[in-house]
A and B are shown apart, each in its own frame.
Chain A
Amino acid sequence: MHTHEYGDRDDSMPLEVLLVEDSPGDVRLTQEAFHAANIAVHLNVTTDGVEAMAFLRHEGVFVDAPRPDLTLLDLNMPRMDGRQTLALIKNDASLKTIPVVILTTSDAEGDIAKSYELHANCYLRKPVQLNAFETLVRSINDFWLTKAMLPQQ
Chain B
Amino acid sequence: MYAHDYTDGGDDMPLEVLLVEDSPGDVRLTQEAFRAANSTVRLHVANDGVEAMAFLRREGVYKDAPRPDITLLDLNMPRMDGREVLAQIKKDDNLKTIPIAILTTSESEADIARSYQLHANCYLCKPVQLSAFENLVKSINDFWLTKARLPQAQ
A5 B5 Cβ-Cβ under 8 A:
no
In the complex, B99 has a CB within 8 A of chain A = yes
**Per-position 1/0 for B85-102, Cβ under 8 A of A:** 000001000001101000
- A99 CB contacts on chain B under 8 angstroms: 116, 122
A107 to B5, CA, bound (A): 10
Residues of B within 8 A of A (CB): 1-2, 5, 90, 96-97, 99, 105, 107, 109, 112-113, 116-117, 119, 121-125, 127-129, 132, 136, 139-140, 142-144, 147-152
User: Could you name 26 residue pairs across A and B whose Cβ atoms are closer than 8 Å?
Assistant: A5-B125, A6-B125, A8-B107, A90-B119, A97-B113, A107-B2, A112-B149, A113-B151, A113-B152, A116-B97, A119-B119, A122-B99, A123-B150, A125-B149, A128-B2, A129-B5, A139-B142, A139-B147, A143-B122, A143-B143, A147-B136, A149-B112, A149-B123, A151-B113, A151-B116, A152-B113
A125 B139 Cβ-Cβ under 8 A:
no
B109 A142 Cβ-Cβ under 8 A:
no
Closest 4 CB pairs of A and B: A116-B97, A97-B116, A143-B143, A127-B5
B147 A136 Cβ-Cβ under 8 A:
yes
Closest to B111 in A: A149
- Could you tell me the distance in whole angstroms from the C-beta of B67 to the nearest C-beta in chain A? 13
In the complex, A46 has a CB within 8 A of chain B = no
Partner of A122 from B2, B144, B152 at Cβ < 8 Å:
B144
- B113 CB contacts on chain A under 8 angstroms: 97, 151-152
A143 to B132, CA, bound (A): 13
- Could you tell me the distance in whole angstroms from the C-beta of B133 to the nearest C-beta in chain A? 9
Interface size class of A (residues with CB under 8 A): 35 or more
- A143 CB contacts on chain B under 8 angstroms: 122, 139-140, 142-144
A142 to B122, CA, bound (A): 13
- Known: A96-B117, A148-B123. Is A1-B128 also a contact (CB below 8 A)? yes
- A28 CB contacts on chain B under 8 angstroms: none
Closest to A144 in B: B122
Supply 7 further A-B pairs (C-beta < 8 A) apart from A116-B99, A151-B116: A116-B96, A117-B96, A122-B144, A122-B148, A142-B139, A149-B107, A152-B112
A1 to B126, CA, bound (A): 11
- B148 CB contacts on chain A under 8 angstroms: 122-124
In the complex, A79 has a CB within 8 A of chain B = no
- Known: A96-B117, A151-B112. Is A107-B127 also a contact (CB below 8 A)? no
> Looking at B105, B113, B125, B140, which has the most chain A CB atoms within 10 Å of its CB?
B125
- B129 CB contacts on chain A under 8 angstroms: 5
A23 to B96, CA, bound (A): 31
In the complex, A38 has a CB within 8 A of chain B = no
- A121 CB contacts on chain B under 8 angstroms: 121-122
